[in-house]
Amino acid sequence: DIQMTQSPSALSAFVGDRATITCRASQSISNYLNWYQQKPGKAPKLLIYAAFSLQSGVPSRFSGSGSGTDFTLTISSLQPEDFATYYCQQSYNTPYTFGQGTKLEIK
Amino acid sequence: QVQLQESGPGLVKPSETLSLTCTVSGGSISSYYWSWIRQPPGKGLEWIGYIYYSGSTNYNPSLKSRVTISVDTSKNQFSLKLSSVTAADTAVYYCARVGVVPAAPYYYYYMDVWGKGTTVTVSS
Lowest-confidence range among A94-98, B71-75, B106-110? B106-110
Residue B47: other Cβ atoms inside 10 A: 23
The pLDDT of residue B83 is 98
Distances (CA, A) of B51 to A74, B44, B59: 32, 22, 9
Disruptive mutation site among A91, A93, A100, A102 for chain B (greatest number of B CBs within 10 Å): A91
Average pLDDT, chain B: 96
Which residues, 6+ apart, have CB-to-CB distance to B30 below 8 Å? B53, B73
* Percent of chain B whose predicted confidence (pLDDT) is above 70: 100
The pLDDT of residue A44 is 98
Q: Which of A6, A1, A2, A3 is nearest to A87 (CA)?
A: A6
- In chain A, positions 9-68, which contact chain B (CB-CB < 8 Å)? 32, 34, 36, 42-46, 49-50, 53, 55
The pLDDT of residue A94 is 96
pLDDT for B21-57, tens place per residue? Answer: 999 999 999 989 999 999 999 999 999 999 999 999 9
pLDDT for A12-54, tens place per residue? Answer: 999 999 999 999 999 999 999 999 999 999 999 999 999 999 9
Residue B47 to residue A97, Cβ atoms within 8 A? yes
* Percent of chain B whose predicted confidence (pLDDT) is above 90: 94
Q: Is B79 helix (H, G, I), strand (E, B) or coil?
A: strand
Q: Is B84 helix (H, G, I), strand (E, B) or coil?
A: coil
Q: Give the mean pLDDT of B3-20.
A: 98
d(C-alpha B106, C-alpha B103), whole Å: 5
The pLDDT of residue B103 is 82
* Percent of chain A whose predicted confidence (pLDDT) is above 70: 100
Identify the closest residue of chain B to A48 by CA–CA distance: B110
Q: Is the pLDDT of residue A73 over 80?
A: yes
Q: Which of A55, A52, A25 is nearest to A37 (CA)?
A: A55
The pLDDT of residue B106 is 84
Q: Is the pLDDT of residue B105 over 80?
A: no
The pLDDT of residue B102 is 87
CA of B17 vs chain A CAs: smallest distance (Å): 22
The pLDDT of residue A96 is 98
Q: Is the pLDDT of residue A89 over 80?
A: yes
CB < 8 Å to B45, chain A: 36, 44, 87, 89, 98, 101
- Phi first, then psi, for residue A82 (nearest 5°) are -85, -10
Task: Tell me if B115 sits within 8 A of B23, measured CB to CB.
Answer: no
Handedness of CA B39, B40, B44, B49 (dihedral sign): negative
The pLDDT of residue B104 is 76
